[in-house]
Structures are given as structure tokens and as C-alpha cells.
Structure 1
Amino acid sequence: MTSRSRVDDMVVVVPGILGSRLADAEGREVWGLSGPALLRGIRTFGRSVKGLTLPPDLGDEHPGDGVRPLGPMRDLHGLPGIGTLVDGYDGLLEWLESHFTLRRRGERDAADAPANLIGFAYDWRLSCRHSADRLAERVDEELGRWRGSAPERAEARGVLLCHSMGGLVARQYVERCGGAEVTRRVITLGTPYRGSLDALLSLVDGVGPAGMGLTALARGLPSLHQLVPDYAALITAPGEPLRHAREVTGLPGTDAALLGDAARFHETLRESGTGAAYGVEYVPISGVLQPTPTTAEVRGGKLTALLTIDGTDEGGDGRVPRLSSAHVGAARRPAYTPWERHGSLQNNTALRQALYNWLTPDPPVHRGPQDAEVPLVVDAPDAIVEGEVYELRATVPPDIPGHDRVAVFATAGNGPARTLNNLGGGRCLARLTGLPAGPHRVRVSTGNAGHVVMTALVLVQESGSDDGE
């Protein structure tokens, strides 16, 4: 058994949007089914949408509807059109507990038992400011209990490990909610510090199967508006400079007041120097090389996404461009750049090894030989309909020696490894058929079928279901 590396601080895992299970006022879980039950969960959630839709002009408050978070999502989860499919957090929490001296509070433990590994769940519908206030309450309670449990823990501080929007919640906590005094480090995985075009596309184009009401829900979410690009991302006329979404009138589905408030939210965080004054270290981790929507052309009230900005392909993790996920605090560049897609960042093998640098004071320990990794650009759909062919394209960058001879494999779930067809020039193609309805992990590997480089996630929707609203 591998010895566990020492961690004296308290580690808090903060999920992204949709990453927390929710219950209604009666205690019924209204958002929480994941993994094999995800399709049933989406249908169940559809029946709950009316009760979850937020009233206008809510600001940073809770609507008082009794909805409360239960815990982080355990397995693959997502909603059609609101971001991409995302892996769960149980695997990450279990890995942290087994490789470091971190301990979660078990079911048989007393409610006040000390723990230094916390999975923080929050109501992802609401403003990041509101969620940051709840994070402050939770950290104050848990850190105080951990510090008081043993004399050597008296100086423990918090390390926040955040995925996607969770990093915005954590940054608000550090910069505006007093968290800087007790936080050592904020590690963010694909956090859209400058927003994500995907959020704007969801608002403008509408989301989810017809009749479910997801579009009305999405367009009223303060959180989703706070994910809209906070950089000039829209082309309104040939030759004209890029414009911010809040500067473009007539975009359907956007709430001008929420966009204005989101701009103030980001501006306040940019101008804050609280974290720096207390020595809080931000560690931004950015997925790279994956085709990522970065700007869009405005055409008749519709958006056409582009992978470039001013003619340059910045790349990213497929959802968040690198220019957004690396832009935080004094950091000029990402601390680490795995070639991974957004929804799988938290479970990327190479990234987990890199986490040792930021979680423990122990010197590096030899952990066995690792095969040399080959970076891959993977282009594959996030969703298909049952019966459709799943077409996955992988490209080995030309600066890799022998890039046109690298063998690339794809494995869907527990199925056999399939060798991608080599199209020449480092380009490879796989056409997978027969994927049953539900979410799937497609592991992409090089060198040998057992060495995973990255994971693509795809939701196979039941045939006969309609998209759009």
C-alpha cells in the first residue's frame, strides 16, 4: 500500500455549476442522479424546473423556496445545453483521501467530528456572491473544529481545490468575504476567470429538450450570467473591434441587468488586492490544445461560435479558453497545462500527480515509472442521439517526434480498445457505433491501450428526444 503524503491544512473541494446535488423544501432530491441514471435524472429534473426557476431581480439573495444543497455530484452529470458533460467528484475525493493524510467525516462519525477534507456543495443557481458567503460559513465552522482538535493543527489554513465556476466562488470568498486570512492556496481547474463563450451560447440559443422549461430556468440564473465572457468576444460587423456582450443590444435570452451585475462582479474581483495582501497563492490550471469556442459572430440575433480571437487560436479545454482560465491575480500564465477536456480535468492522471506540489510539504516521492505522455488534440461531440455514429478525431501535434506514426486508441467505458485510423499527418479517426443511451467516458490513449492521456465525455440521448426550445 502506498504511504500517504502529509497534509496539515484543510482541503475544500468546490464543484462547478451543476456540480452539487439539490433537494427541495420537502427534502426530495430534485437534482442529483448521475452516471447510468443521468437520463432519468434529466427527465426528473424537467418535472422540477418550474419550482426551481428563480424570480426576477433576486440579486445575491436566496429565493426562499427551501431548495438546499446535499453534497457534490458523485458521477457523470450535466444538462443538455448548459455546459458540457462533467465527471463527478467522488473519484477525486476518494483519491485525495487515499493518497494524503486527509479525512472526510464518515456517516458513523459525530456531526462535530473534525475532518480536513470537505466536499462543499452549494446552490449553483444563485449568484457566486451568495455561494461565497455560504463557503465562508462552512470554512469557519470546519477549520475552527480542525484547528481545535490537536495542538499541531492550530495554525492550519484552508486549501481550496476548485473546478470550473467553483473557482469564482472561491475567489469571491478570498477577496470579499474574509477568506484571505485563513486561506493558504486556491487551486483552480478550468475556472473561467474571464468567462466562457459557452455560457453566452446557452443563454442566446436556449437549452434542453423542448417542453422541459430549461431555457427559462437558465436565462434567470445569476450564476450563468456571471460565466458570460468578461472580455470583448463578439464580432458585430466586419472590421469592427470586438465588443462585450453587455454592449450588444438585441441579444435574445440575455438579461441586461444580470449582465451588468456580472460585469461589476468581475471588476470588483480584478481590482481587489486582499488575497495578495495576505499572501494567498492562486494556482490556475488550464486544459490546453482542445478546440474551444472563444469568440462569436452576431448574425440576426444568433451567434456563430469561432475558435479564434483576432485570428489567433488560443486553445483551451473545449469549454473555457486558456485566456480565461489562466487570468487570475498576479499569475501571468497557468501553473500547469494538461491536455485534457473541461469535464474531466479533476480526474486527469497527470494533473493529480502535479497536485502533490501544492497539497503537501513532503518532498517528492518516487511513485514508479510513468510512460512518456503524448499531447493530443481531441475533437468529438459532447452529445449524440442513440443510433448515431460517434466520430472522434485526434491529432498529434507536428512538433512531436514521429507524430505521424503515433498509435492512438479509444476505449468507451469497459469496452475493448479501438485503434484509430491513421489519416496521415498526425491525424487519426475513430467511428464508434452502438453506444447505448446514457453518459459515457471515452478514454483516449497512446503508445499502448492502457495508458490514458485524456478522457472525452459524451451523452447519448434516447432516440426520439427533441433538442432546443
Structure 2
Amino acid sequence: MHHDLVVFVPGILGTRLTRDGKDVWNQSKQALLSLRSPGRAVEGLMLPPGIRDEAPDGPYALEADRLLKGPEALPGFLSCTGYPDVRAALGWNDGQGGQQLHPKQYLVFPYDWRLSNKLTARRLKERLDSALDEWRSIAPGVYPEAYDDPPEVVLMCHSMGGLVARYYLECLGGREDTRALVTLGTPFQGSAKAVRVLTGHAVEPRNLAARAVQRVLSVNERLAALARSFPSVAQLLPFYRCVAKEDGSGRKRLNRVPVPDLPPELVREAFAFHEAIDNAWERNQAGLAAPPYRVHCFAGRAHPTVAGVVVGVDGGLTFPTRLDNDRDWGGDGTVLGGSAFASWALEREDDALWNGERHAGMAGAETLRPQLMAIRRSRPARQMLSGDADFGLEMPDLALDGEPFTVRVSGPTVTGRTLRARLVAPGLPETDAKPVTLLPDGTGGLAAELTAAAGTWTLQVEADRPHAVCHDVITVAEA
């Protein structure tokens, strides 16, 4: 596998979107969070109605020029710490004499994450067909084994990038040229946070000052309008039984029970997308004991994660981290562990690689590097079942400039350990940020209050004995 073409497919928010060299998403987000210019909140970023699986043109078209380098977030939905050095973060340069990747052996695939994953998968196929042909012509001069074993593709995917890859593999014939699929926090069964943002409940106003509640409601309304225009967000809707009612009638799928303020056409699009992949998988696997490519699945289950939606008798919506007691509802803070587990290819949960990192920082997690190096060398990756080092992290979706917000950790592993939290500014080293020690909160967990200026920050929480660290992104709006 070490002579194969390595392709990195980022997740939603992971690619910078520009027009005339200017970052459109950053400009739109700042307007979206401000009450002073609501009309500019979605200018240049919202897609036209009914675009579905087609490419936008004219003023709706944007350039996807490179991977995100710093932290970014769609408040209350998804976040990404950025990919400042993907090759180093993914551990391909091991510093132990292992052969490094040839420049033509590594491909980054930035894409417009607003668009349908079907369209993005078609673009991925076009790019890979060309890149793989070029690498196969070069590889034998670099790796002698490539003469007898033609190089194939190793897909390394973060978050939604794994859904793009699955559509490419099963619906567009990509499995014929692929050696391995490696996914990091991919929501194979969707994420309930997509329901939250699409129904206008992305940011919870609790624990915010009374004067901020109206502002949060306005932000939620604009976020919902923006997200509803993105086919990709609809395709992240949960495919599992995620809807419960207060009458105790049991959990159901989104296509079986209406959810107030969730457009039914978005639900239909989401289920059609998932069903297309599942049906293609069944056809492709007919008569086969295993797929022609290996699947390596990295997932988290240490953190409280929105599990679904409860519809009240008055039509009100709540988004709990548990729906019942019949399963483990933990995840990576964005995607439930059960959703990130590649159950379509792996038989046992022990076949996945579980870790304590948050969704936003999983692609750059230090603890994943040895496993990724082992995968590239075709060696068994060490299992990382959640254990003594992991802890659950809770944090707000949005904070206000200068006002304190609470970071809380919980779980049986926090007893007797020292945990510290710090906010790291984009472009500055972690050592420049002053850590704050978390203290007992009276409920068996630990907590600390932090404050920050307006901007997008990386939150780092680090524990000792044994050492563990996780990262996420918090957006701080102007007060």
C-alpha cells in the first residue's frame, strides 16, 4: 500500500471558498453573527433554490482553492480546526527512515462543500482518473513493486469527505481502483445536528444573558436559511431512527414522522442520497465475501453528542444527547459513535479505531499518527477503544465578546486528574495561550470559565495521568 496514490478529502467547512481571491465564507459569517448588517449575512454564499445535484453558475459559483488552514465553524452545527499541514498531521513522514511520499503520490482534493455530495463525487472521479494514470506512469521508477502491483488509491477522508468517497466508490465505479478507505468521524448515518440547524435551533440561547437571546434567535433564523440552500447539509440528515415524541410512541426515522420547520423535500433528498449508496453497495457486493478495498474507520464516543430530536405535544423541539437507554449515545461531539462506525463493511465494533478526540480536530490528532502510518504500511492498526485517557467535553456553540462561558468535562476518568483548558488564536502557537485549570463543579465533573475577544478560536483541553488532549472550535461574536 505504501506505493499507492494517497488522496485527502476534507470535510464540510474544510475548504476555503473564494471569489476574486477573497474569502467569501469568512465575510458572510461575520455579517451573519452581527445584528448591524443582517442583509449581508448570506450574500455571495447562499445557493439558488432547486439546485439539487447541479453546479452553480454566475454569482453563485465560488472557487474552492485550498484546504482550510485555521479554525472555522458553522455555529451550532459543524466545526473544523483546519488542516495546517495535512501530510504531517496524518503521519506520512514518520521520521524513522520510512520512505516519504513522492510529490505526485499525494493529492489534496479541495471542493465547494455547499454543493451536493453527488456532484462533488463526480468531480473527485474526474480528478482521480487523471492523477492515478499519471502516478502509475511514474511509480515503477520510485517503487519497484509497482511493476507487478499497479498502484491504486488510498482515500483519507475527514467528516463529510467520507460520504463523498462512498458515493464515488459505490455509485461511480471507484472501488475498482481503490485499495483502502480511511474515514475520520464520517457520519455514515448522518448527524442530528443537521436537524437542529435546518429547523432554526442551531445555537441554544441557554446560559446567555437575556439581552443576547434575541440575537441568538436571529442568528439561528439566518443559519437555517443559509443551510437549507446547501444540498450537502440536507445529505447530512440522520438516516437512523432519530425522532421521538413526548407521547412515548418510540423512535422513528425522519421520513416516517414530520418534524416542524424541517422541509420535507430536504428529508426526501437525504434519504435518496443514502439509499443510492446502500443499493449500489448491495449490487456491487453480490457474490463477494468482502469489498475489494479495506475500510479503516476512526470514530469517537467519549463526548456528549446530540442524538436526535424530540417533538413535544405543542410542536416544540428539543435535542437531547440520549433518546433512550438501549445503546451508548456518546460520540465525538458532532457525530454519534454508531453513525461514524462503518457497519456496512465492518462486522464488530472492535474493528473500528475509537479515540477521545473531538470531531473538529480528529484529522490532526496526535494519537492517530501511529495508526495511520501502520495502515499505509499494510500493518494492523492498534486498537484505541475508549479507556482511561478519554473524557467527555461540553462547551457552548456560541459565546459573546468579553462574557465568560463555561467549559465542562465529565466521565469516570476525570477523578484525580488535572485538566487545563486554553484558547488558541489562529496563527499563534499553543504555548502563547495561558491555560486555565478546571475545578470540581459539584456534579462529579470539572469546569472552568473562559473569556475571549470576538473571533474564531481553537479550544484545547489537556489532561494528565494519563495524558490526553482534545480540540474543538468556538465562535465568539461581538457583544
What's the TM-score bracket when you normalise by the shorter of the two chains? 0.7 to 0.9
Residue in 1 aligned with 2:278?
A: 270
Residue in 2 aligned with 1:304?
A: 318
* Equivalent residue in structure 2 for 1:136, among 106, 114, 125: 125
Residue in 2 aligned with 1:458?
A: 474
Q: 1: distance between equivalents of 2:407 and 2:324?
A: 28
* Structure 1 portions without partners, runs of 5+: 1-5, 106-114, 366-371, 464-469
* Equivalent residue in structure 2 for 1:319, among 334, 339, 342: 334
- In 1, are the aligned partners of 2:297 and 2:341 still within 8 Å (CA)? yes
Q: How does 1:291-440 map to 2 (within 5 A)?
A: 291-299=304-312, 300-311=314-325, 312-331=327-346, 332-333=348-349, 335-361=352-378, 374-397=389-412, 400=413, 404-413=415-424, 414-423=432-441, 427-433=445-451, 435-440=452-457
The CA RMSD measured in Å over matched residues stands at: 3.2
How far is 1:356 from its partner?
Answer: 1.7
Q: 2: distance between equivalents of 1:48 and 1:38?
A: 7
Residues 1:93 and 2:87 aligned together: yes
Q: Give the stretch that moved more between structures: 261-270 or 221-230.
A: 261-270
- In 1, are the aligned partners of 2:157 and 2:182 still within 8 Å (CA)? yes
Q: 2: distance between equivalents of 1:91 and 1:38?
A: 25
Q: 1: distance between equivalents of 2:18 and 2:102?
A: 22
- In 2, are the aligned partners of 1:396 and 1:406 still within 8 Å (CA)? no
* Structure 2 portions without partners, runs of 5+: 204-215, 425-431
Please list the CA deviations of residues 381-409 of structure 1 after superposition, one character each: whole Å capped at 9, or x if unmatched.
23211122131112242xx5xx5222222
Residues 1:177 and 2:177 aligned together: no
Q: 2: distance between equivalents of 1:389 and 1:169?
A: 39
Q: 2: distance between equivalents of 1:32 and 1:379?
A: 26
CA 1:382/1:102 → structure 2, altered by over 3 Å: closer, same or farther? farther
CA 1:123/1:304 → structure 2, altered by over 3 Å: closer, same or farther? same
Residue in 1 aligned with 2:212?
A: none
* SS in structure 2 of the partner of residue 150 of structure 1: helix
How far is 1:417 from its partner?
Answer: 2.8
How far is 1:378 from its partner?
Answer: 1.4
CA 1:306/1:48 → structure 2, altered by over 3 Å: closer, same or farther? closer
Q: 2: distance between equivalents of 1:358 and 1:309?
A: 35
Q: Which amino acid aligns with 2:55?
A: H
- In 2, are the aligned partners of 1:38 and 1:438 still within 8 Å (CA)? no
CA 1:318/1:127 → structure 2, altered by over 3 Å: closer, same or farther? same
- In 2, are the aligned partners of 1:102 and 1:117 still within 8 Å (CA)? no
* Equivalent residue in structure 2 for 1:195, among 190, 193, 197: 190
Residues 1:186 and 2:181 aligned together: yes
Q: Give the stretch that moved more between structures: 437-446 or 118-127.
A: 437-446
- In 1, are the aligned partners of 2:395 and 2:406 still within 8 Å (CA)? yes
CA 1:438/1:93 → structure 2, altered by over 3 Å: closer, same or farther? farther
Q: Give the stretch that moved more between structures: 133-142 or 145-154.
A: 145-154
CA 1:104/1:262 → structure 2, altered by over 3 Å: closer, same or farther? farther
Q: How does 1:249-268 map to 2 (within 5 A)?
A: 249=258, 251-252=260-261, 254-268=262-276
- In 2, are the aligned partners of 1:164 and 1:191 still within 8 Å (CA)? yes
Q: 1: distance between equivalents of 2:160 and 2:153?
A: 18
* Equivalent residue in structure 1 for 2:295, among 279, 282, 289: 282
TM-score, normalization: structure 2? 0.81
- In 2, are the aligned partners of 1:21 and 1:29 still within 8 Å (CA)? no
Amino-acid identity (%): 32
CA 1:387/1:50 → structure 2, altered by over 3 Å: closer, same or farther? closer
Q: Give the stretch that moved more between structures: 154-163 or 48-57.
A: 48-57
Residue in 2 aligned with 1:241?
A: 250
How far is 1:457 from its partner?
Answer: 2.5
Residue in 2 aligned with 1:54?
A: 47
* SS in structure 2 of the partner of residue 352 of structure 1: helix
Residues 1:63 and 2:56 aligned together: yes
Q: 1: distance between equivalents of 2:188 and 2:334?
A: 13
Count of matched residue pairs: 431
- In 1, are the aligned partners of 2:181 and 2:295 still within 8 Å (CA)? yes
- In 1, are the aligned partners of 2:199 and 2:224 still within 8 Å (CA)? no
Q: 1: distance between equivalents of 2:243 and 2:69?
A: 36
Residue in 2 aligned with 1:466?
A: none
Q: Which amino acid aligns with 2:121?
A: A
Q: 1: distance between equivalents of 2:377 and 2:32?
A: 38
CA 1:73/1:315 → structure 2, altered by over 3 Å: closer, same or farther? same
How far is 1:45 from its partner?
Answer: 12
How far is 1:316 from its partner?
Answer: 0.3
Q: Give the stretch that moved more between structures: 419-428 or 438-447.
A: 419-428
Q: Which amino acid aligns with 1:359?
A: R
Q: 2: distance between equivalents of 1:383 and 1:458?
A: 6
